[in-house]
Structure 1
Amino acid sequence: MTPVDLSTTVLHAVRRAVREDALRAPVPARVRVERTRPGGRGDYASAVALQLAGPAGLGAREVAAILRDRLTGAPGVAGVEITGPGFLNFTLDATAGAAAHRDLVHRVREEGERYGYGDALAGQRPLLAHPREVRAAVTSDAVRRLLTAQGADVRVSCDGEPDADWTRLGVSAEAYGREQVEAPGAAAHASAQAGTPLRPVRAGETAAELLTRLGPDAARWGLLRAAGHDRAPLGPELIAQTEANALFRVRYAHARARAVLRGADRLGAAVAGPGEDIDATEASTALLALLDAYPAVLVGAARHRAPDRLARHLEAVAGAFFDFHDAAPPLPAGDEKPSAAHRSRTAVAEAAGTVLAGGLSLLGVSAPEHL
């Protein structure tokens, strides 16, 4: 069971308690679960009972007991304990956890860079309207990619004639003007123009100026990494190959993941197949949790028109990949022979590289094999 699975399981328990009138409180949109701290009980913990106690008019431990009764015996959960003022502590079924990790890695391998794509927004036909400004154009393009990946049929509208230099930043010229073809009537056109306005804080430079200073990849990342209501940092640090540069870290993590696969191929070491277990360490579990959460991040970034959410998640995946790589090197060292553990770690590295490449592609940023 992954953290996302556990969060969903707890949320279902809350809904069941409310449905059965054992708990009278609004059901939260999501339930947060976290790794227990050193010395704590179980594998994960949640403060959801403390969150619900006030609205329910009950003590937090009483709410926790109501939820524990509905969580005991849940698939993948070996035990539930109440600690402190009302924390729920979960011990997971190791067998179920191993199966979930194995299935996740296999799914990423099967779906490739389209992992996380879906039909959550199928049937929607949003119009993204933006001013004639480079950050707005790049943001609209990234949002269009995210919405399309979730099944939406997206159109883009600009207040003026699109800047020819936007295409050099990866902005699709074909995305503009489709509403005139699909809705030729004046009334329909007016309705189409009442789309979602995307007006992030202006970049303060033109596309040509950004391309000259930063190039397309760094310029796009810089324009998208900050939330739309914040100023986009667009300094020379975006092209510095240092650890302080988030873009470099994400792309370097992808390049390292690909290097692991090349190294395994040179050694004749196979990647773990669908039937093989995934080596469970603290570092690999943390990385797999982020890979498991990736589809939900894509849906959220699309719904909220917020590509910065995806950029931040890729940074987290890159950081977790480096921790994993350092704690449990995927490739054997020296005269060490490739083992099942190495095959497993290589499979995890491959999955991480795939998610990083897919996420960068949705942001319109390239993912080089070598850096």
Structure 2
Amino acid sequence: MIPADLSRAVVRAVRRAVEDGELGGTVPARVVVERTRPGGVGDYASPVAFQVAKGAGAAPAHVARVLAGRLAAEPGIENVEVTGAGFLNFTLATRSAAALVRDVRARGTRYGYAPDGELRARVVGDAVARIRRSQAAAPDGAPSAAGNRTAPDGAPSTAGNRTAPVARRDGDVVAGYGTDAAAWAMLGVPARETPSFTAGLLVQDESSELFRVRYAHARARALHRNAADLGYRSEPGDVDAPALLAALAEYPLVLEAAAHHRAPERLVRHLVTVADALLDFQYDVLPRGDEKPSAAHRARLALAEAAGTVLAGGLALLGLDAPDFL
């Protein structure tokens, strides 16, 4: 189970408890599942019991115990505990590196996207957005004109589409820093904060976060090419790279949270985490000296390629390029 699957498993548990009459109230469309804070219990925690309790006419602790009982047998969940006044805390079963890499390879740059099975939410959401536009209102979930987070041309940013350079305005940040660097600065902070445009955006070395993310992607592509020159290809397998594996496993949950909170800065921050982990890991990927390519090298290459795929997909969602060469 990946973290995003955990959120959906909790929703299913609530739905079944309501359908069976064990809980009252309504079923939330989405529940918050976040990393446990340092010193907390388990890997992830959720305050869903407080959300459900409001309409269930029951104490959050009771709701949490009901859900814990249903979730304890969920495949991929190793342990569920109730703490405090009703927080659910989860420890996930260890997922193999090979399974994680196969998942990324199978989904490609769409890894982390919500399943196509969640059709109703998308259909309803699209209809609401169209209806609001018919009334000259911003689509539900989009910022209003006041305080809007905008792309460099002053228009709302569209994930997956690049923004074209435009005429001078506001000190001409696009002309001064380039479309992508300006967009990165704007997307990298919460909407309530003012983006910082500094000379650091133009630096082409690892002191620049945007450069590191793109460089890490380019390194993943270079490792693929270098391995091909050595006559071997990647194959998912066991790899000792906890930081990189954790960052890739966390990516779907980050996407979900970024969408729910309308906070692209969460994706920006996570891409930097993935990039830094990959750049640390890259030195162990290819054979050294007279070493012959082994199963371990093929597995490390597969993980590096998976990380590159995640970086490419994340940059695309931000409307930025992921070059193969830097």
Tell me the TM-score normalized by structure 2: 0.71
Aligned match of 1:69: 69
Aligned identity (percent) is 38
Aligned-partner Cα distance in 2 for 1:43–1:363: 28
Distance in 1 separating the partners of 2:79 and 2:266? 33
Partner of 1:138: 153
Contact 1:81 1:90 (8 Å CA) reproduced = yes
Distance change in 2, residues 1:42/1:268 (3 Å): farther
Deviation at 1:34, TM superposition (A): 2.4
Residue 204 of structure 2 corresponds to 241
SS of 1:80's equivalent? Answer: strand
Please tell me the residue identity of whatever aligns with 1:345: R
Deviations 1:265-299 (A, max 9, x none): 23333112xxx44537532331222443466468x
1:105 match: secondary structure: helix
**Residues 1:238 and 1:99: Cα distance change in structure 2 (over 3 Å):** closer
The answer to whether the 8 Å contact 1:13/1:67 transfers is yes
Q: RMSD of the alignment, in Å?
A: 4.3
Please list every run of 5 or more consecutive structure 1 residues that lacks an aligned counterpart in the other structure: 150-165, 172-201
* Number of residue pairs matched by the alignment: 305
CA deviation vs aligned residue, 1:240-263 (integer Å, no higher than 9, x gap): 235553322322222222232233
Q: Compared with structure 1, are the counterparts of its residues 81 and 100 closer, same or farther at alpha carbon in structure 2 (3 Å cutoff)?
A: farther
AA partner of residue 277 (structure 2): D
1:10–1:31 CA contact under 8 A, matched in 2 = no
Cα pair 2:213 2:275 within 8 Å, conserved: no
Q: In the alignment, is the contact (CA less than 8 A) between 2:234 and 2:301 conserved in 1?
A: yes
What is residue 33 of structure 2 aligned with on the other side?
A: 32
Name the CA distance, whole Å, in 2 between partners of 1:46 and 1:291: 18
8 Å CA contact 2:4–2:256 kept in 1: the answer is no
Distance 1:14 1:356 in 2: 34
CA distance in 2, matches of 1:73, 1:317: 33
Select which of 309, 315, 325 maps to 2:269: 315
Match of 2:215 among 242, 252, 273: 252
Q: Secondary structure at the match of 1:265?
A: helix
Partners of 2:70 and 2:209 in 1: how far apart? Answer: 42
* Corresponding residue of 1:284: 244
CA distance in 2, matches of 1:106, 1:73: 28
Say whether the 8 Å CA contact 2:112–2:253 is kept in structure 1. Answer: no
Per the TM alignment, residue 5 of structure 1 is displaced from its structure 2 partner at its CA by: 0.6
Cα contact 1:71–1:80 (8 A) shared by 2:
yes
Residue of structure 2 in register with 1:353 after alignment: 308
Do the aligned partners of 2:6 and 2:33 also contact (CA within 8 Å) in 1? no
Cα offset for 1:66?
0.9
Q: Equivalent residue for 1:365?
A: 320
Q: Give the 3 Å change call, closer, same or farther, for CA 366–106 of structure 1 in structure 2.
A: closer
Given that residues 115 and 295 in structure 1 are in contact (C-alpha distance below 8 angstroms), is that contact kept between their aligned partners in structure 2? Answer: yes
Secondary structure of residue in 2 paired with 1:69: helix
Write the letter of the residue equivalent to 2:248: L
- Range with greater deviation from structure 2 (75-84 or 313-322): 75-84
Going from structure 1 to structure 2, the CA distance change for 1:321 and 1:290 (only over 3 Å counts) comes to farther
TM-score (norm 1): 0.64
Structure 1 residues 196-345: aligned runs within 5 Å: 204-205=170-171, 209-272=172-235, 276-277=236-237, 279=239, 281-293=241-253, 296=256, 300=259, 309-310=263-264, 312-326=266-280, 329-345=284-300
Look up the SS of the partner of 2:178 in the other structure: helix
Q: How much has 1:47 moved relative to structure 2?
A: 4.6
The answer to whether the Cα contact below 8 Å between 1:130 and 1:136 also exists between their aligned partners in 2 is: no
